[in-house]
Structure 1
């Protein structure tokens, strides 16, 4: 498969509502879209890097640099027989996983379209629909938090994830359990806001019978998480600590977690995500697909990977209108039934770009030709 041309689009879209975590607050999403051309087909990818290096060391700006100066030249100078080849092509470049995943995702979409199959099918997915949950940021008031949860439960979402941090944890969780009981699937995401010095406090979370607590300790830690997991009955889920299948293996064997959040961008693409999925399946460790406030292209890739068998926990891939007034794809992602999204069966990601919306939020575009 020869890649003839690549277009790199830089967009900025306002979120419907501010999204607040222990890391900070987002009012808009600054992101990249990849268009990859070959033999009359176009593949789409999306970079999930943020404008600031809060979640990871990558930013939108560093992704542009790595994509332009290193990754595109490597792709243009290589033979691609299958999307799995891209991991090896990019191997000389360390980390920069979100930049790699944006291009690799476009290769996967292009490959699927050339072969007339859906991206989910190309990845080995088996589901016709996926269960979806919702991620709720730190709200201005507990009343607002409870109202949002009530609305999302009415919409049928299969999992409620709430952000927590020191000073905003026991009270909101207690209020949620008091109002909705222990029957709703509830988890807490700490985004690395705690340390082992908070062990006594964190043990109090067991009382809320959460599905999991996500990444309570340092973003690059596995050792302290293993210590904490031994003290908690609540499963720990690792997110920021896992960048590869090797990371996942070490975390599982150390006892650092019982669940893994799989984000395509964080691990460098769909090929590595599949490897982590398969490894976790062998260890009987469930996985679920986390969200990075993706626009429609990234959302479509999340739907495809979640169709694999070991994604047994509802992910964060909610409908487009959960975050956006208008999305960059058509049709937009909608729930096919309460708490479910249908897995597209059309070739590739199953969605087309909405060029009018893209033009509205476009900051810049660069074109690269493989001569």
Structure 2
């Protein structure tokens, strides 16, 4: 393929339900959509699913826009590649800024698979026709509000796994309430987004979560706190899942050597794209770490890529690939749908969803184009 045009679109969509983590609350999302066009006129799409603020990671919408428009997209326009994994060579000198890189890398995979006439999942090495999805629920004003959300998503819509956001002061009691209300059949895990430290009060609260039969405790400590995480993992039965800690394959090797966790959350955005995410899947299998695909509340472009990635055989736990309607009343693509918590893997060439360009333009904040 030869990339002759690139465009970056900043799009803003409201969430159907406000979402709160340990760091912030949000009622809408602004993501960047990457559009790459081949010399034959074919188009591939990718998503830069970074937050607006630097609370989850250093990357933001503004930093990703800067890096993508100044360095990444000008570098890829005019390049030719036999395989999508080669496109990143054009901007290999850029350090970090993985969210921006993920949008370009995913768009390259989308374009290449469309040109080859193969589904994205198949090109990545996927083996499943459908994947099991889970939902992620934010911190609610009250425990009753949280129970209503679990009832809606788990019981009424059939998602088998529920992830609860926690923070110091909102941990043991909400988890106890959910477990008591919905029983042991519910696959339940919690995500702290690094909100805890080695303060004795924090550690006591986290240890108490051991009694609730959680499938995992995700990212309890700061991203670089490998030794703290390792000490805690030795002290509890619940597997620690690492998310923000694992940006690169070397991070995973370090975590494995230290015993800092037992489960891996692979996020396309955090790891710089489908190329590295697929390699992380392979390494997790080699190291014996159960893995799953996490999400960043992606629009349909990124969500479809996550579904395709989730079809790989090493992703043995429910992934964050719930239906588009959980987050958006209307998506920028044909919606990703779920039936009782199961999502079909697209079997058509390319990304597997169609971009609604008219709707995209209605909700576009700004755009930049490059040609060569």
Q: Is the pair's TM-score, using the shorter chain for normalization, greater than 0.5? A: yes
In structure 2, how many angstroms separate the alpha carbons of the residues matched to 1:307 and 1:208? 29
Task: Verify the 8 A CA contact 2:162 2:188 in the aligned structure 1.
Answer: yes
Residue pairs, 1:139-218, within 5 angstroms: 139-154=140-155, 155-197=157-199, 198-218=202-222
Residue pairs, 1:43-62, within 5 angstroms: 43-62=44-63
Aligned to 2:9: 9
Task: Verify the 8 A CA contact 2:69 2:368 in the aligned structure 1.
Answer: no
Structure 1 residue runs of 4 or more that deviate by more than 4 Å after TM superposition: none
Task: Verify the 8 A CA contact 1:87 1:271 in the aligned structure 2.
Answer: no
| 1:77 shift after superposition | 5.5
Task: Verify the 8 A CA contact 1:36 1:43 in the aligned structure 2.
Answer: yes
In structure 2, how many angstroms separate the alpha carbons of the residues matched to 1:183 and 1:46? 35
Task: Verify the 8 A CA contact 2:6 2:77 in the aligned structure 1.
Answer: no
Aligned with 1:111: secondary structure? Answer: helix
In structure 1, how many angstroms separate the alpha carbons of the residues matched to 2:351 and 2:80? 23
In structure 1, how many angstroms separate the alpha carbons of the residues matched to 2:79 and 2:364? 30
- With normalisation by structure 1, the TM-score equals 0.97
Aligned with 1:186: secondary structure? Answer: strand
Structure 2 unmatched runs, 5+: none
> Is 1:334 the counterpart of 2:321 in the alignment?
no
| 1:158 shift after superposition | 2.1
In structure 2, how many angstroms separate the alpha carbons of the residues matched to 1:253 and 1:188? 24
In structure 1, how many angstroms separate the alpha carbons of the residues matched to 2:349 and 2:219? 36
| 1:68 shift after superposition | 1.1
Task: Verify the 8 A CA contact 2:4 2:78 in the aligned structure 1.
Answer: no
Task: Verify the 8 A CA contact 2:128 2:313 in the aligned structure 1.
Answer: yes
Aligned with 1:18: secondary structure? Answer: strand
Moved more, 193-202 or 180-189: 193-202
In structure 1, how many angstroms separate the alpha carbons of the residues matched to 2:272 and 2:86? 13
User: CA offsets per residue over residues 61-114 of structure 1, 9 Å max, x none?
Assistant: 111111111112321354322111134333211110000000111000000000
Aligned to 1:358: 360
In structure 1, how many angstroms separate the alpha carbons of the residues matched to 2:227 and 2:92? 27
Task: Verify the 8 A CA contact 2:2 2:78 in the aligned structure 1.
Answer: no
Gap change, CA 1:369 and 1:77, over 3 Å in 2: closer
Gap change, CA 1:87 and 1:220, over 3 Å in 2: farther
In structure 2, how many angstroms separate the alpha carbons of the residues matched to 1:270 and 1:313? 18
User: CA offsets per residue over residues 316-360 of structure 1, 9 Å max, x none?
Assistant: 111011000100002x1111x311000001111111111232122
Residue pairs, 1:300-339, within 5 angstroms: 300-330=304-334, 332-335=335-338, 337-339=339-341
In structure 2, how many angstroms separate the alpha carbons of the residues matched to 1:312 and 1:89? 34
Aligned to 1:41: 42
In structure 2, how many angstroms separate the alpha carbons of the residues matched to 1:115 and 1:92? 29
In structure 1, how many angstroms separate the alpha carbons of the residues matched to 2:124 and 2:137? 29
Number of aligned residues: 368
User: CA offsets per residue over residues 17-53 of structure 1, 9 Å max, x none?
Assistant: 1110001001110111111100121000010111111
Aligned to 1:124: 125
In structure 2, how many angstroms separate the alpha carbons of the residues matched to 1:87 and 1:35? 15
CA RMSD of aligned residues (A): 1.1
| 1:181 shift after superposition | 1.5
In structure 2, how many angstroms separate the alpha carbons of the residues matched to 1:321 and 1:78? 37
In structure 2, how many angstroms separate the alpha carbons of the residues matched to 1:260 and 1:145? 26
| 1:189 shift after superposition | 0.3
- With normalisation by structure 2, the TM-score equals 0.97
In structure 2, how many angstroms separate the alpha carbons of the residues matched to 1:293 and 1:255? 29
In structure 2, how many angstroms separate the alpha carbons of the residues matched to 1:167 and 1:268? 33
User: CA offsets per residue over residues 195-225 of structure 1, 9 Å max, x none?
Assistant: 1122222111101110001000012221211
In structure 2, how many angstroms separate the alpha carbons of the residues matched to 1:80 and 1:355? 27
Aligned with 1:217: secondary structure? Answer: coil
